Chain A
């Protein structure tokens, strides 16, 4: 079965640079989520999109922005990178947002290292 695809798998950037992470959700899933997981931490919700519109916003810094495109893929743009942005970034997708029993299916994540 098709899974959530994230690219790149690993990314190394320097402070103050920008980074773009891409996510391709499972076909026919209508909701995309972005999570940030710091070393030894639980995943923290950043932002979500339902049918290409932003649906919810979590602890996403103002330096970050995201969008979902007409083909349903999503991109997380991160500017003025800081050392503290080093983390594993997950994209997840689900179908039927608001339906309690619809699990989030996660991609393998992008490991971002800021030096």
Chain B
């Protein structure tokens, strides 16, 4: 079945460091891809998305590019802040299957000042 694999955490960075969180997927067909962020004690917030190959999603300094050839959607940010500390989930969905989200296991990011 469809699945998403994320790099294991926690990822610990100093403020202003460069961030990469790897995400790869396995799916039959071409899903839409998402990054959601979850702050402590809260629900999930959409961070960015891409719906077709070579699309780049971006928001709040975060970016991810839909790479069909490598089935990847890696999350990057040039300079992280303490406020970026959260859990990041990569996910996929197919419109044909009711828009249901399939999540990766999540990656904890900790940013130190």
Q: Do A and B bind each other?
A: no
- Residues on B lying within 8 angstroms of A by beta carbon are none
- Residues on A lying within 8 angstroms of B by beta carbon are none
